[in-house]
Amino acid sequence: MTLARVHNFSISLDGFGTGEGQSRETPFGHAGERLHEWMFATGFWHSMTGRPGGTGGVDDAFARQHGPGIGAEIMGSGKFGPPGWHEDPEWKGWWGPNPPFHTPTFVLTRHPRPSIEMEGGTTFHFLDTSPAEALETAREAAGDLDVRIGGGVTLLRDFLAAGLIDHMHLVVAPILLGRGERLWDGLENLEQSYDIEATPSPSGVTHLTFTRATVERG
């Protein structure tokens, strides 16, 4: 069985994966870029954005796990676009003509529209279906490869609540957001289903990996 994996998903110390007030100008609301500053410094991000340089330490090693072995992505409507994107027939995501997914990418929304083929192998497909059915569809598209669950926060929380995540890499940034969308709400005892490791980075963030435990602890 292929895996459902999460990579580079960043939360604040108080558990928020995005701030309040998302808009076209502020994709992460009042959080700005603070949740992902650790990633922007890495060689991984520099290469993704066509620039030389970047760090090569712990943060970079984790960040690079994002792509290998992935054959499809599932994302939520709130990651695909700002509030109201449904009303814009021209909206094709934040990422320009060649988005960084390079696979079939399934957007969960109650406002589906026809698929959009982008450059570089990304095709956006729009699904109004349950997390489990979306995962089944993405698995078929991914073939022998894994499916990345790309967020945002509500979508990831729903997939966790449904027990669909096999491997999750979270990054805890040393900031307090105070408001926004919280990942953990309603996920009591989640830790019992996973083997969890924490790796501190000199940059100040902590990398957490949740790997589904073969036998659940009672």
Ligand X SMILES: NC(=O)c1ccc[n+]([C@@H]2O[C@H](COP(=O)([O-])OP(=O)(O)OC[C@H]3O[C@@H](n4cnc5c(N)ncnc54)[C@H](OP(=O)(O)O)[C@@H]3O)[C@@H](O)[C@H]2O)c1
Establish if 205 lies at the interface with ligand X (CB under 6 A): no
Residue range at the interface with ligand X (CB under 6 A); choices 41-49, 51-59, 106-114, 188-196: 106-114
Q: Which of 55, 105, 154, 209 binds ligand X (CB under 6 A)?
A: 154
Site for ligand X in 75-94 (CB under 6 A): 76-79
Binding window for ligand X (CB under 6 A); candidates: 53-61, 145-153, 189-197, 200-208 = 145-153
Nearest-angstrom CA–CA distance, 62 and 170: 10
Position 12 contacts ligand X (CB under 6 A): no
Residue 42 is a binding residue for ligand X (CB under 6 A): no
7 or 55, CB closer to ligand X? 7
Among 2, 7, 22, 106, binds ligand X (CB under 6 A): 22
Q: Say which DSSP state 56 is in.
A: -
110 binds ligand X (CB under 6 A): yes
Is the CA virtual torsion 185, 196, 1, 5 positive or negative?
A: positive
99 binds ligand X (CB under 6 A): no
Q: Which is nearer to ligand X, 71 or 131 (CB)?
A: 131
Is the distance from CB of 187 to CB of 15 less than 8 angstroms?
no
CA angle 171, 100, 153 (to 5 degrees): 40
Report the alpha-carbon distance of residue 94 to residue 160 in Å, rounded: 25
Out of 28, 38, 44, 62, name the contact with ligand X by CB under 6 A: 28
Q: Exposed (0-12), middle (13-18) or buried (19+): which is 214, by Cβ within 10 Å?
A: exposed
Judged by CB under 6 A, the stretch of 48-56, 102-110, 160-168, 184-192 that binds ligand X is: 102-110
Bin 123: left if φ > 0, else alpha if -120 < ψ < 50, else beta. beta
**Contact between 5 and ligand X per CB under 6 A:** no
Which lies closer to ligand X via its Cβ, residue 93 or residue 131?
Answer: 131
Nearest to 42 by CA among 197, 201, 156, 150: 201
Measured CA to CA, the distance from residue 87 to residue 75 in angstroms comes to 19
| Residue ranges binding ligand X (CB under 6 A) | 9-10, 17-18, 22, 27-28, 35, 76-79, 108-111, 128-131, 151-155, 158, 181
